[in-house]
């Protein structure tokens, strides 16, 4: 969307990033003044040479003027070089901080935001758009300012020497300015569109690369290449159009006519004045020289203009991100702005500050549930109780989009309890977890911790108490050790080793090529599924959470691995408050309470024994999975639970490691 005054908005936000570089910018401004002065001085020197030194045949003066002319040239070149170096330095540093701030701000967004923005597009925002802005900061904007300064200087100098010519020049400057401004409004939309297609292309490339094995399986590589090529073509066509318009306007149209007209006018008026004795030859030459300099920058604008408009469009897109409110900003009950919607601009300062809290620890989502650097929080939020007594869903309603997913869902999890959630695919089990971790907030109703609305707490502080093992396994590029620590600094290696031993993962990790220092590929691609799952359990245990949430993976592993994983899971849950989403009912047979969800509603709840003791969806499910439906089921469940807890005692010898060739 086109912003009302992108230049001003961009300048305002940019100024917060530029503030630490005032010295460098002042230096650049100084060199700019110097260059402009030199540009203006050279025609004046020329006039002195023609009007004074040559008629008087004064060789000494001619030499001095000649030296001054050459010296001015050299000084100008030096000043230009200095300006370029200074600005490049500023731009590099500003872009680096800007990238940090934008990335931090992105991570702080509500998960809804990510539902609607594919990774490729976001990468394009952080990378390409900010790189486009570099040209704006280091080149185009400076060039524009230098040219404007020079045009103003020439106009003033001409006016001073010959008011009639000066007035004409002023007319040309104003007319040109208006024409350029009108044109800029028109062309900016086009550049915005070019940037938009850039990001679409990045999105496609990302998706195809991520799904490369699938592409290969279906033999669709050529189609993927063609789709990316088509996106490239449409973008290039658009860009070519922009460049063409610029060329027509700046080379062929406006500047061309103005230059010819200007030259004719100066020659006609100037020679008349020389004949009448009111103007010296030197002054006429000076005017012609000034005029040449006047149109040079105007023509240069064509090149600057592309960079400028493209950079401005990129700036609009990047700074548009700062208009997004970070997660929880509009829902914090205590913050007092509940119910507000739409873009509350985040002060750029806040965004800049976010960039300073951006080390890798943000990359801890799956095992830690810890996201984002700039999550709204801090002031006005209730401290999370050090040990909660009860978590309660109270008539929670929720929809991702228009379709409701949860309907008036109410249940409670008391400290120390183990709660199982079962239900058909799509019944809303994972959604409950999303709400519990405040990845999303309920549409109606509330989740309460000891009677206090979850939205009143700092989401980051709350998530620190929780460990999450997700349905989708996620490991980050880095070593096994780093992953097990979820990149959190300050965790001792010993704690990780103890956790790995406790869950029987130590032996398999030590068998990896570099043990705990083995570098994992993206998403843990160089491990088997069972191994990845086990690492996720260890990662959760390292957090020593108050609340453990397990979203059981449906993916099939062999029977031996499954047994090992079950054991590890049992040990992980021992003595903790746990919410387990289960697909295999054996996982929840021992739970204190089992909730059965049906299309977002609580269909029934109770212990395994209670639920199999009466007809209902759970009993049907249990029968389908071949579970014992007899009255002894409950007792068996409890016995099994006791046995499992005994097995999970820390004194227990570590279980055998996963079989190396576990199912992939
Ligand atoms: N990010 C999302 N955006 C929009 N709709 C979603 C999103 N995530 C889930 N849904 C929808 O919400 C409903 C509940 O999904 P949920 O993931 O909670 O199911 P589930 O019970 O965990 O299923 P499964 O057993 O397959 O994991 C589904 O209809 C799903 O299509
Ligand atoms: Mg799910």
Q: What is the DSSP string of 330-392?
A: TT-TTTT-TT--S--PPPHHHHHHHHTT-SGGG-BHHHH-B--SS-S-STTPBPPPSS-SEEE
Ligand 1 centre and the CA of 428: distance in Å?
Answer: 6
Indicate the range of 38-52, 382-396, 628-642 predicted with least confidence: 628-642
Indicate the range of 20-34, 200-214, 268-282, 630-644 predicted with least confidence: 630-644
Contact predicate 463/368, CB 8 Å: yes
- Residue 187: closest CA among 321, 304, 322: 304
Pocket test for ligand 1, best of 112, 118, 405, 469 (most atoms within 8 A of CB): 405
Mean pLDDT, residues 98-119 taken together? 83
**For residue 571, what pLDDT is reported?**
84
Ligand 1 centre and the CA of 548: distance in Å?
Answer: 20
Which pLDDT band holds residue 629 (cuts at 50, 70, 90)?
Answer: low
3-state SS assignment for residue 82: helix
* Domains contained in the chain, CATH given: 6-322 (1.20.1560.10), 458-647 (3.40.50.300)
Would the CB of 471 count as within 6 Å of ligand 1?
A: yes
Residue 504 has pLDDT above 60, yes or no: yes
Q: Atom 27, ligand 1: which residue's CA is nearest?
A: 425
**For residue 356, what pLDDT is reported?**
31
Ligand 1 centre and the CA of 454: distance in Å?
Answer: 22
Residue range 182-226, pLDDT digits in tens:
877 788 788 888 888 888 888 888 888 888 877 887 788 888 888
Ligand 1 centre and the CA of 606: distance in Å?
Answer: 24
Q: Which atom of ligand 1 is nearest to the CA of 427?
A: 21
In this structure, what token pair is assigned to residue 569? 């899971």
Ligand 1 centre and the CA of 425: distance in Å?
Answer: 8
3-state SS assignment for residue 551: strand
- Helix axis angle, 141-161 to 281-322, nearest 10°: 150
Would the CB of 428 count as within 6 Å of ligand 1?
A: yes
Would the CB of 555 count as within 6 Å of ligand 1?
A: no
Q: Atom 13, ligand 1: which residue's CA is nearest?
A: 426
Indicate the average pLDDT of the chain.
79
Ligand 1 centre and the CA of 426: distance in Å?
Answer: 5
Q: Which atom of ligand 1 is nearest to the CA of 431?
A: 18
- Residue 566: closest CA among 592, 544, 585: 585
**For residue 427, what pLDDT is reported?**
93
Residue 243 has pLDDT above 60, yes or no: yes
* CA 401 and chain centroid, separation: 23
Tokens 């758009």 correspond to 129
């Amino acid at each position: 969307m086109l912003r009302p005054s992108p230049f001003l908005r961009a300048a305002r936000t940019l100024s917060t990033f530029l503030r630490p570089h005032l010295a460098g910018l002042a230096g650049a401004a100084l060199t700019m003044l110097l260059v402009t002065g030199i540009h203006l001085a050279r025609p004046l020197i020329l006039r002195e040479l023609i009007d004074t030194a040559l008629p008087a045949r004064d060789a000494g003066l001619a030499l001095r003027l000649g030296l001054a002319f050459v010296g001015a040239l050299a000084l100008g070149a030096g000043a230009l070089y200095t300006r370029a170096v200074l600005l490049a330095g500023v731009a590099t540093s500003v872009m680096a901080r800007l990238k940090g701030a934008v990335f931090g701000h992105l991570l702080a967004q509500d998960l809804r935001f990510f539902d609607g923005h594919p990774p490729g597009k976001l990468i394009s925002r952080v990378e390409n758009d900010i790189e486009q802005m570099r040209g704006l900061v280091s080149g185009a904007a400076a060039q524009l300012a230098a040219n404007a300064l020079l045009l103003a200087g020439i106009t003033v100098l001409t006016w001073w020497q010959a008011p009639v010519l000066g007035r004409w020049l002023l007319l040309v400057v104003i007319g040109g300015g208006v024409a350029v401004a009108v044109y800029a409004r028109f062309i900016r939309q086009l550049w915005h569109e070019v940037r938009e297609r850039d990001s679409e292309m990045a999105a496609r490339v990302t998706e195809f690369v991520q799904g490369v094995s699938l592409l290969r399986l279906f033999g669709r590589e050529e189609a993927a290449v063609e789709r990316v090529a088509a996106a490239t073509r449409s973008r290039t066509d658009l860009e070519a159009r922009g460049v063409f318009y610029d060329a027509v306007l700046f080379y062929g149209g406006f500047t061309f006519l103005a230059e010819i007209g200007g030259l004719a006018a100066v020659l006609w008026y100037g020679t008349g004045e020389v004949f009448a004795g009111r103007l010296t030859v030197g002054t006429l030459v000076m005017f012609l020289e000034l005029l040449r300099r006047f149109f040079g920058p105007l023509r240069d604008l064509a090149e600057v203009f592309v960079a400028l408009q493209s950079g401005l469009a990129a700036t609009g897109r990047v700074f548009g991100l700062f208009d997004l409110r970070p997660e929880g900003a509009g829902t914090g009950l205590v913050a007092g702005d509940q119910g507000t919607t739409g873009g509350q601009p985040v002060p750029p300062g806040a965004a800049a500050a976010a960039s300073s809290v951006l080390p890798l620890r943000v990359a801890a989502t799956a095992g830690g549930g810890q996201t984002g650097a700039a999550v709204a929080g801090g002031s006005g939020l209730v401290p999370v109780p050090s040990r909660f007594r009860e978590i309660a869903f109270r008539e929670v309603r929720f929809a991702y989009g228009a379709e409701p997913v949860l309907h008036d869902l109410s249940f409670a999890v008391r400290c120390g309890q183990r709660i199982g959630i079962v239900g058909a695919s799509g019944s809303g089990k994972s959604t409950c977890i999303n709400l519990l971790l405040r990845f999303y907030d309920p549409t109606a109703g509330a989740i309460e911790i000891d009677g206090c609305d979850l939205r009143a707490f700092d989401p980051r502080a709350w998530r620190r108490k929780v460990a999450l093992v997700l349905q989708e396994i996620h490991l980050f590029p880095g070593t096994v050790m780093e992953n097990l620590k979820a990149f959190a600094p300050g965790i001792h290696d010993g704690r990780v080793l103890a956790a790995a031993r406790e869950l029987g993962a130590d032996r398999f990790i030590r068998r990896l090529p570099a043990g705990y220092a083995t570098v994992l590929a993206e998403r843990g691609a160089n491990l088997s599924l069972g191994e990845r799952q086990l690492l996720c359990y260890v990662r959760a245990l390292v957090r020593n959470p108050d609340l453990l949430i397990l979203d059981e993976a449906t993916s099939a592993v062999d029977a031996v691995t499954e047994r090992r994983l079950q054991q590890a899971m049992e040990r992980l849950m021992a003595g903790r408050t746990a919410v387990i989403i289960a697909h295999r009912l054996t996982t929840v047979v021992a739970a204190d309470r089992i909730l059965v969800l049906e299309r977002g509603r609580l269909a029934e709840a109770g212990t395994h024994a209670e639920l199999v003791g009466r007809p209902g969806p759970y009993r049907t499910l249990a029968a389908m999975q071949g579970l014992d439906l007899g009255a002894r089921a409950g007792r068996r469940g409890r016995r099994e639970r006791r046995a499992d807890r005994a097995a999970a005692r820390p004194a227990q010898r570590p279980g055998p490691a996963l079989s190396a060739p576990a199912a992939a």
